[in-house]
Amino acid sequence: MKQPSFDFVILLAEDEPADAHLLRLALIESRVEADLEHVVDGREALEYLRQQGHRFAHARRPDLILLDLNMPRMDGREFLAAVKEDAALCNIPVVVLSTSEVERDVVAAYRLGAAGYIAKSPDVTEFTEEIRQLTAYWACRERLPEQD
């Protein structure tokens, strides 16, 4: 049976399968109506956004990007800089979702253009509520500029 498709698309760039699974469960538990697309690093996220290669040829433009900072090949900082420098992608909000609570990581993310920064809570209930609030805000209240 095919899963329903929603208008709200979230791109998750996360290299840890357990964290990606937890986020997917948090979206389900929160009853967030969104399609979650998952990639494992910044390079793959850029390929998705630019619809490069056979795998991403029909990728849908995300309404929100959730970004881990520490990933292989291209980390979250490099990805964020690349997205914000690309005129076709810079309007997509990027929220960092990281285990790091180090102040320099938070400051660097905002300087690079992050729309938000959330430290992943180890408490599943708290994490689920954070994801519910985050996605509710971006899905219901924000209006993004049309893609050129």
pLDDT in tens, the chain (148 residues): 445 566 789 999 999 998 899 889 888 887 778 889 999 999 999 999 999 999 999 999 999 999 998 888 889 999 999 999 999 999 999 999 988 888 999 999 999 999 999 988 888 888 888 888 888 777 765 555 555 4
Give the pLDDT of residue 3.
58
How many Å apart are CA 9 and CA 27, to the nearest integer?
Answer: 12
Q: Would the pTM of this model clear 0.85, i.e. be above it? A: yes
Residue-range domains of the chain with CATH? 9-140 (3.40.50.2300)
Give the pLDDT of residue 138.
77
As to burial, measured by CB atoms within 10 angstroms (0-12 exposed, 13-18 middle, 19+ buried), residue 2 is exposed
Q: Which residue has the tokens 């309007």?
A: 91
As to burial, measured by CB atoms within 10 angstroms (0-12 exposed, 13-18 middle, 19+ buried), residue 117 is buried
